[in-house]
Amino acid sequence: MWLDLGITFFISQITLLIPTQVVGEWSPNILDLPDSHLTRFLNTFKDEAEKCRGSNSCIYRNILETGLCWGYETNCPQHLGYSSAHCPGDHKGWVSSKSQQLQTFINQADFGFVKQQNQSKTVMCKPRFDGESSLECSQYLQFCRGSNLYIDFRDLSSRKESFRYKMDVLKKGQIGGKCKLNDFKLQSEAIHQSPLQSWAPEIQHFQELPHLINKQSKICDVFIDRPTLIMKIDATVNMYHHFCDFFNLYTSLHLNGTHSEMFSRDINILIWETYVYHSNFGITWSAFTQNPLMNLRTFQGKRVCFREVIFPLLPRMIFGLYYNTPVVWGCQESGLFHAFSKFILHRLKIPKRTTIDQVKTPRIKITLLSRNTQYRRILNEQVLLDKLRSSPRQYAIQRVEFTHETDFRQQLRIIQDTDILIGMHGAGLTHLLFLPDWSSVFELYNCGDEHCYADLARLRGVHYQTWTNSAKLKPQDEGHHPSDGGPHAKFTNYSFDTEEFLRIVDLAADHVNRHPAYRHMLGHLHQQFNVSQRLKSSDEL
């Protein structure tokens, strides 16, 4: 249950009392952030708060003194932070107390991770005078940011083949700036030498330069004035892997969040490869930038200077976030994952549920992800759907296939209108990141990979279930791994016992019905419906 429920409801109510904004008044539309972000943004940047305070149309004026914060600030009390993380389960020996269990979870997988990254930052190259360059990085060069930096891309003209995941893009002296370099510290942190683990393969070549880096510098063929984020990205065809990129980009916005432009979309994104970017999930970039994506071919053959450049967190960091992250047992509901979900949904303009069945007990909405693939198909899918439709609970059911041709915004609209998400183990279950808070995800069978989506669900804070009775499912065969031909649970298809299937779905429905956020949503929509009915009746009179 999230603390901002009440705030969001309060804001939605007072909106009805606020007149239409007049030109020149403060508007949250400029920032384009969800309510839960705006309240913390205004508490962080006092100049923005004063603009709101002086505006008659700012609906946030009454909550400017609440002290709400993210959780990584030095003066943020836990009860005012974003997170609602808690640890109802056993820690299984990870730690020695419940308080230590919760703090470990916050540090591993919540805004405490941002705090630790911030605390580990070191100035690698220090400016001695105004206008000189600067470079600072977190531990192991996982996140870096700099000003007035130089990168030499002239060698790229001779590399005709397209490439990604290369660690030899730069050589010594092809990145640098005019500042005092702590080379010993830099090299001591450059130990994670892997394409997607750190920026060590690139930043290790940083050198001091004799001349200022600015618009007048003769060594700059191109000077980029707009803030630029340089990204090395994971597999763009796979939602699980690609959203690791987007999640770490969002987290990096907070790591760079020392000024009121921290959520600005007027930035460049330069992808550190020469392939032209293609992905069905590409619309997600619009949550971060309003400008076209660039890649290394954009600047091949040129010496490029950047006024402000950021090297964000990477998708496969050792003890990083999301991918293969060891997370303490028994804890759930990372505020960082929740905030990421709400940020993406808001920026992509995905509507919340606005209608309900006008009956005594509204129907639970179930979405079944169907796989049209060689492996992990549900062999008796239609029988399972028929079983759901015959339930006395009268579920509202839809079967969907999300392919590379399915508009991603439409996928998110469906997921936002889902109470129970059902699907086989696979990247499609990554959609659980964008389920409503009250939802349940039923990984029909995890195919022996028991932690992947179970961990993602508890990080996001949605209920999770999977098949546990192996006697009540039937594999088509033992499965054959494509590389060695050996038996493997992920490379076959399955049939499922219908009674056991319905039992697990009913448990998920019980969770949804009990969830305070679900009951709040139903009450709010019932209230809106009743108001509209009264207005309709008065118009008819």
- Measured distance CA(518)–CA(513) in Å, rounded: 7
Cβ atoms of 313 and 319 closer than 8 Å: no
Which whole number is the average pLDDT over 357-365? 76
Per-residue pLDDT tens digits for 413-428: 999 999 999 999 999 9
Min mean pLDDT across 29-43, 130-144, 424-438 is at 29-43
- Measured distance CA(28)–CA(55) in Å, rounded: 11
Min mean pLDDT across 6-15, 448-457, 479-488 is at 6-15
pTM over 0.85: yes
Which whole number is the average pLDDT over 477-487? 86
Domains defined for the chain, CATH in brackets: 22-68 (no CATH), 111-311 (no CATH), 350-525 (3.40.50.720)
Residue 16 pLDDT level (bands cut at 50, 70, 90) = very low
Residue 246 has pLDDT above 70, yes or no: yes
- Measured distance CA(19)–CA(16) in Å, rounded: 8
Burial call 286-299: b when 16+ CB within 10 Å, e when fewer: ebbbeeeebbbbbb
Residue 357 pLDDT level (bands cut at 50, 70, 90) = low
Amino acid identity, position 61: R
Provide the pLDDT for residue 486: 85
Provide the pLDDT for residue 536: 59
Give Cα 151 distance to the centre of its chain. 29
Provide the pLDDT for residue 9: 32
Which whole number is the average pLDDT over 130-139? 97
**Would you give the DSSP letter of residue 438?**
T
Residue 59 pLDDT level (bands cut at 50, 70, 90) = confident
| Cα-based distances in Å from 489 to 41, 53, 425, 479, 497 | 47, 59, 10, 6, 18
Provide the pLDDT for residue 10: 33
> Percent of the chain having pLDDT more than 90?
81
Considering only the C-alpha atoms of the chain, give the largest distance between any 2 of them, rounded to a whole number of Å: 82
Which whole number is the average pLDDT over 508-519? 96
Provide the pLDDT for residue 12: 35
Provide the pLDDT for residue 429: 98
- Measured distance CA(10)–CA(456) in Å, rounded: 30
Name residue, tokens 């649970």. Answer: 489
Which whole number is the average pLDDT over 272-298? 97
Residue 538 pLDDT level (bands cut at 50, 70, 90) = low
Per-residue pLDDT tens digits for 155-168: 999 999 999 999 99
Provide the pLDDT for residue 15: 32
Name residue, tokens 């606020």. Answer: 18
Residue 532 pLDDT level (bands cut at 50, 70, 90) = low
Mean pLDDT, rounded, of the chain: 91
Provide the pLDDT for residue 535: 60
